């Protein structure tokens, strides 16, 4: 595993060439984590990252997990994000946390869900998803038949797309864990989507929707489906901030 901080290229004579060179010299690398280190990450950083990833693919090397921590954003990744991850089509886990997902970033993640056949875990917690960007994620989930873990907590501006995401996850045959805590105001439609999830899913084991208020909208049919579900082992709809998930 390698954890790489983002550096301001103006402090380096070679700009961000070091990043491309580093990725080319670790033949056994399987897990890569990028994080912003109080520096201004610009498109140039992603261009060299993309070149390094292309070199890895040329050498027949692929990553199993990639994580971006506060790296993406409208002025940072732009349309370059997919150019970075496309070189690893057998990726198992993608984590994009903090920051703001742009429309292009969200489309890239939707494409990963739809096209990457081995992706099993997606974590897009705390990425300021709005109704438009979360729709790109929802569309990808319709085709993500291999997904097992989906985390999208701390995204309070998803709007009604949250209902669509829950409904689409119901048709993911391998989905085991869903965390949608603190995803904004919910309605009876959200509760209806949860009911359908429990009714349809044959794999769900953990469902977490803390700090959503959805419990106030649950119907009798939901509790019947809950009693009939044979796989769910952990359900957390708590409204208390002090209760961990």
Both 219 and 123 in one domain: the answer is yes
Average pLDDT (71-75) is 70
State which of 91, 114, 138 marks the end of a domain.
91
CATH number, domain at 201? Answer: 3.80.10.10
Both 55 and 111 in one domain: the answer is no
Both 79 and 120 in one domain: the answer is no
Both 29 and 130 in one domain: the answer is no
CA distance 84 to 179: 26
Q: What is the pLDDT of residues 88-131, one digit of tens each?
A: 999 999 999 998 888 889 999 999 999 999 999 999 999 999 99
Q: Which two tokens stand for residue 90?
A: 């057998």
Q: What is the pLDDT of residue 170?
A: 96
Both 75 and 193 in one domain: the answer is no
Both 203 and 118 in one domain: the answer is yes
Both 32 and 132 in one domain: the answer is no
74 confidence band (pLDDT: 50, 70, 90): low
Q: What is the pLDDT of residue 38?
A: 58
Q: Which two tokens stand for residue 229?
A: 């579900």
Query: Residue 16's domain spans which residues?
Result: 1-91
Give domain status of residue 227, yes or no: yes
Q: What is the pLDDT of residue 43?
A: 73
What pTM was estimated for this model as a whole? Answer: 0.89
Both 110 and 179 in one domain: the answer is yes
Both 116 and 57 in one domain: the answer is no
State which of 59, 91, 123 marks the end of a domain.
91
What is the total count of domains within the chain?
Answer: 2
């Amino acid at each position: 595993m390698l954890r790489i901080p983002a550096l301001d290229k103006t402090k380096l004579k070679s700009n961000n060439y070091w990043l491309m060179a580093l990725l080319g010299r670790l033949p056994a690398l399987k897990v890569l984590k990028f994080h912003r280190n109080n520096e201004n990450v610009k498109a140039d950083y992603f261009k060299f990252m993309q070149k390094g990833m292309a070199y890895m693919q040329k050498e027949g090397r692929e990553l199993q997990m990639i994580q971006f921590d506060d790296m993406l954003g409208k002025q940072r990744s732009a349309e370059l994000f997919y150019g970075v991850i496309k070189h690893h089509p057998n990726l198992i886990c993608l984590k994009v946390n903090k920051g703001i997902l742009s429309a292009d970033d969200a489309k890239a993640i939707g494409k990963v869900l739809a096209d990457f056949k081995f992706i099993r875990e997606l974590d897009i917690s705390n990425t300021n998803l709005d109704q438009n960007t979360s729709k790109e994620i929802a569309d990808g989930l319709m085709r993500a038949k291999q997904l097992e873990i989906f985390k999208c907590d701390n995204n309070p501006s998803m709007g009604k797309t949250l209902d669509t995401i829950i409904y689409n996850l119901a048709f993911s045959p391998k989905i085991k864990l869903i965390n949608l805590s603190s995803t904004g105001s919910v309605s009876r439609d959200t509760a209806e989507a949860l009911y359908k999830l429990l009714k349809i899913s044959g794999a769900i084991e953990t469902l977490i929707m803390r700090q959503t208020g959805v419990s106030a909208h649950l119907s009798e049919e939901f509790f019947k489906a809950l009693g009939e579900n044979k796989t769910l082992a952990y359900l957390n709809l708590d409204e208390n901030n002090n209760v961990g998930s």
